[in-house]
A = this chain, B = another copy of it.
Amino acid sequence: MPKDMTAETSIYDRRESAARSYCRSFPTTFVKAQGSELTGADGKTYIDFLAGCSSLNYGHNDPDMKAALIDYISADGITHGLDMHTEAKTAFLEAYEEHILKPRGLDYKVMFTGPTGTNAVEAAIKLARKVTDRRNVVAFTNGFHGMTLGSLALTGNSGKRAGAGGAHLGDVTHLPFEGSMGDDIDTLQFIEAMLENASSGVDAPAAFIFEPVQGEGGLNAASDEWMQGVAKLAKKLGALLIVDDIQAGCGRTGTYFAFERAGIVPDMVTQAKSLSGFGLPFAALLIKPEHDIWKPAEHNGTFRGNNHAFVTGRVAIEKFWSDKTFETELAHKAALLTTGLQELADMIPGATLKGRGLMQGVDVGSGELAGEICARAFEKGLVIETSGAEDEVVKVLAPLTTPDATFRKGLSILIDAARDVTETTKIAAE
């Protein structure tokens, strides 16, 4: 690392907690970003195939959102209003109703929880338990739902779970996600066998929670049939269905909600990440009206309803979701991505494509290899990370708005990086 870089980042060594992580993979200081590109302090430009882990689906600093936000701040718009009514909030809710809920025939109450995904998840499971007067929540293998204690109990990863320091992660039953037991095993059969047996020892569930495509768990995509099966089983058992659409939602898999394609209507849906459209902290829980039995302030929080996010979130909805144009583009780009990743996969024996839409990747078989490819890609100007239980999946989470040329260039860098790494490995082996 060049000397001046060291100087520049020594404050992090001195003062930032060891919990920091992405800065270790991408050891530069970023100074600006526009669209799909990040610029470092050294002037170097990077294509962003990480997109804030799907928090920047519309790219960095979208000009329309940016203009609206600057106008709002300039006019002394309410920044922090607890959950009081504000013009910005009114406009967001109206846009959300008009362009998101109505066209999909959905009738949800919107709860603005603390502005992180985990806060929305916590609210969802608390409410499901209240509604059903049951405690047990069914979560799935390789699922990721957050780091606060209630969400962590739902999360599969043993490394993350160890962070609880031995505190009790209870009231949750983990069952197998589709495909997690091998391709030939019908996990729904297992799930039903466990839950429909009154002597199984698994208590009747308050809710099921799953991600349509598991973002952290390795880009495992649930089929429509599986999603429908879980929905049907939940209904049969008197449990609520919660879809965690935090990473897979907001267009990432090709539709606004990742569950739309299955034709199911969850009882609750968690949203965060790209909900503000601009990368601002923001989260919401959608609740079927009949389940919205909260007492006022029974689940509260200081930053619920970030007004700046209302402003940019409204623009995002109006700009990208007022008609079908954007969805059409997404299908096109997803195909582009599949093609590129197939080329990468073909280079690596045993590698397989994972995911859906613009949430695809390649399982290269080992975390070490995937990590080397990503590290090499970064040297070549591409920001990209891994996913999966063993970090074995090279995961592409580019902004959905990435221009074709940039997208192809990014894929090209990725393929070059993989080639470098695999050739080096071959040479080393020889």
Contact = CB atoms under 8 A, between A and B. Distances in A.
A21 to B, nearest CB: 4
Contacts of A389: 197-199
A130 interface: yes
Given A66-B73, A83-B20, A193-B181, A115 B118 contact: no
Interface string A7-20: 01101101111111
Interface string A113-153: 01111110011011111111111000111110011111101
A293 B162 CA distance: 12
B73 A285 contact: no
A129 B166 CA distance: 7
Contact of A156 (B126, B189, B200, B306): B200
A167 B135 contact: yes
A279 B304 CA distance: 11
A199 B367 CA distance: 14
Contacts of A23: 83-85
Contacts of A33: 76-79, 81
A206 interface: yes
A405 interface: no
- Chain A: interface size category: 35 or more
Given A18-B293, A293-B18, A148 B201 contact: no
A172 interface: yes
A297 to B, nearest CB: 4
Kindly report how many copies of this chain are found in the complex they form together.
Answer: 4
B165 A128 contact: yes
Contact of A81 (B30, B125, B161, B297): B30
A101 B299 CA distance: 34
A164 B201 contact: no
A147 B73 contact: no
A26 interface: yes
A24 B83 CA distance: 9
Contacts of A300: 19, 21, 147, 160
Given A75-B32, A160-B298, A280-B306, A171 B167 contact: yes
Given A60-B76, A122-B148, 8 more contacts: A11-B93, A21-B300, A29-B86, A80-B280, A118-B119, A132-B165, A147-B300, A169-B203
16 contacts: A11-B90, A11-B94, A19-B111, A19-B300, A21-B83, A32-B77, A115-B303, A129-B164, A156-B197, A156-B201, A158-B204, A161-B201, A162-B298, A163-B298, A174-B202, A180-B200
Give the top 3 A-B pairs by smallest Cβ distance, nearest first.
A80-B279, A129-B165, A149-B150
